[in-house]
Structure 1
Amino acid sequence: MVEVANASHADTDWLVREDASSGEAWVSRCVTLGEYLVAKEGSEIVGFLRFSRFWGRVPYMEMIRVLPGHRRSGVGTALFLAWEEAMRGEGARLLMTSSECDESRPQDWHRRNGFTETGAIELPGLQSVPEVFFIKPIA
């Protein structure tokens, strides 16, 4: 059974290792601000969701990752639903996320979870393909 909770500083080493593109300073900052959820099976962390707030207001899911041996078992959905409920509880009316335009599997996942495509931007020098943005009204 999967349990989802806010990450604690005790989870930082695991998050630094598994969210490797972020770096220790950013991971620590996000943990302090409550911007990570972790999914655990027993005492083992099997996935995480990292988010921020677009324009300081709109909850933006930056990254969701489930360890390979635990994918397609409901861990990602449990993380997402816990985040959605937490954001609704904070009064959010809209959720936002994105993926690179050539990532069809993540886009399919977003759509299955109620997101609709809202536009794309090119980020020359940062990405080789455009970033597609998705929104989901939750009010």
Structure 2
Amino acid sequence: MKTVVEASIGDLEKIVQIDSEVIGNTSRRNYIERSIESGKCIVAKPNDEIVGFLIYDINFFECTFISLIIVSPSSRRKGYASLLMDYLVRSSPTTKVFSSTNRSNFKMQRVFEINGFIQSGLVENLDEGDPEIIYFKSKSSG
């Protein structure tokens, strides 16, 4: 059974391992640890094994912002990103949920679209030549 739960500090090593599989290093370890400690990290767990995680905050104009969503490469295309996003939108402490991805990241753009997020803006100059697309979804459209 696929479940989503708030991450605990005991999940840190597995989450960092998944993140490292994707980005090739453990540079976000402290960020992930702080997110877990502040209750802003959720994990997808089929059969008690973590396969993905989502980190959010509420510092984006006092709205929920998904800052990181990672699914283990071996567990992709099985609905875990959608499961995490749906859970967060339904349980969001704010009525508006935002996130972003680079214009070059077509796979993530498709994930947002499949999950009912709409484009809400564009931010230039974060990554040279690769603008960031801002996405939005209202909790009520959930």
After TM superposition, give the deviation of residue 100 of structure 1 in Å: 0.3
Judged with a 3 Å threshold, the aligned counterparts in structure 2 of structure 1 residues 64 and 103 are, in CA distance, closer, same or farther, namely same
* Helix, strand or coil at the partner of 2:125: coil
Q: Are 2:89 and 1:84 equivalent residues in the alignment? A: yes
* Helix, strand or coil at the partner of 1:69: helix
Corresponding position of 2:68: 63
Corresponding position of 1:122: 124
TM-score, L = length of structure 1: 0.87
Question: Mean Cα displacement is larger for which, 129-138 or 15-24?
Answer: 15-24
Residue identity matched to 1:118 = S
Q: Distance in 2 between matches of 1:66 and 1:16?
A: 12
- Pairwise CA RMSD of aligned residues? 1.8
* Helix, strand or coil at the partner of 1:80: helix
The total of aligned residue pairs comes to: 135
Q: Are 2:123 and 1:112 equivalent residues in the alignment? A: no
TM-score, L = length of structure 2: 0.85
Q: Which runs of at least 4 in structure 1 moved beyond 3 Å after TM superposition?
A: none
8 Å contact 1:16–1:22 — kept in the other structure? no
After TM superposition, give the deviation of residue 43 of structure 1 in Å: 2.4
Q: Distance in 2 between matches of 1:127 and 1:16?
A: 27
Corresponding position of 2:137: 136
Identity of counterpart residues, as a percentage? 27
After TM superposition, give the deviation of residue 34 of structure 1 in Å: 1.0
Q: Distance in 1 between matches of 2:128 and 2:5?
A: 32
Q: Distance in 2 between matches of 1:112 and 1:47?
A: 18
Q: Distance in 2 between matches of 1:56 and 1:8?
A: 27
